[in-house]
């Protein structure tokens, strides 16, 4: 709730029951977005993600399957990892084949998407890295504001957002 600028209140009276109020900001409010979070990484020598070899890192099985299908519809070859740790373990074997990493931010096993992005970007600054999350976090909050080819996409997102590039 706090991440979305909301709050929860509860009121309880003996014999009357309990009332819980969930307060969220109005959907009509204009949400401020920076150019950095709207940017989809441009792949080297390509105008979109189409035909790329992608490392998909997502801990939620259903989300991973859906995103894989979307990427494959755009002609991508997809290698999956279900955690940041697994992605790092795979990296040595696939690093020369991968042109973009699509990774969730919040993951188990002690390696977040932010950690993964920092490590992979340090090794390969030309690598396109697209971080996704339903939480209100931004690359600049994690030391990635100036990182080239690193972008953030807020969940939920439209399928065409995976294809789009600048």
- Give residue 30's pLDDT: 41
Taking the chain (166 residues) in runs of 10, the rounded mean pLDDT of each run is 61 75 54 42 49 92 92 92 96 94 90 92 90 74 68 77 55
Q: What is the CA radius of gyration of the chain?
A: 18
- Give residue 162's pLDDT: 66
Distance, in Å, from the CA atom of 122 to the CA atom of 153, rounded to the nearest integer, reads 21
- Give residue 46's pLDDT: 43
- Give residue 81's pLDDT: 97
Widest Cα–Cα separation across the chain? 69
Q: Enumerate the β-bridge partners of residue 12.
A: 18
Q: What is the pTM of this model?
A: 0.68
- Kindly report the length of the chain: 166
Q: Residue 77 is inside which H or E element, if any?
A: strand 77-81
- Give residue 14's pLDDT: 83
- Give residue 151's pLDDT: 80
Tell the CATH topology of 30-163: Rossmann fold (3.40.50)
CB 114 within 8 A of CB 107: no
The residue extents of the domains of the chain are 30-163
Distance, in Å, from the CA atom of 124 to the CA atom of 8, rounded to the nearest integer, reads 44
């Amino acid at each position: 709730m706090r991440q979305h600028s909301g709050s929860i209140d509860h009121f309880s009276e003996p014999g009357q029951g309990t009332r819980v109020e969930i307060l969220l900001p109005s959907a009509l409010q204009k949400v401020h977005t920076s150019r950095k979070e709207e940017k989809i990484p441009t792949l080297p020598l390509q105008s979109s993600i189409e035909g790329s070899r992608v490392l998909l890192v997502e801990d939620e099985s259903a989300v991973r399957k859906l995103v894989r299908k979307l990427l494959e519809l755009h002609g991508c070859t997809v290698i999956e990892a279900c955690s940041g740790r697994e992605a790092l373990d795979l990296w040595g074997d696939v690093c020369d084949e991968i042109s973009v990493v699509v990774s969730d931010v919040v993951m188990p096993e002690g390696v977040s998407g932010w950690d993964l992005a920092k490590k992979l970007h340090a090794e390969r600054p030309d690598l396109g890295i697209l971080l996704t999350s339903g939480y209100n976090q931004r690359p600049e909050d994690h030391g990635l504001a100036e990182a080239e080819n690193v972008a953030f996409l807020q969940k939920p997102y439209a399928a065409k957002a995976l294809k789009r590039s600048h």
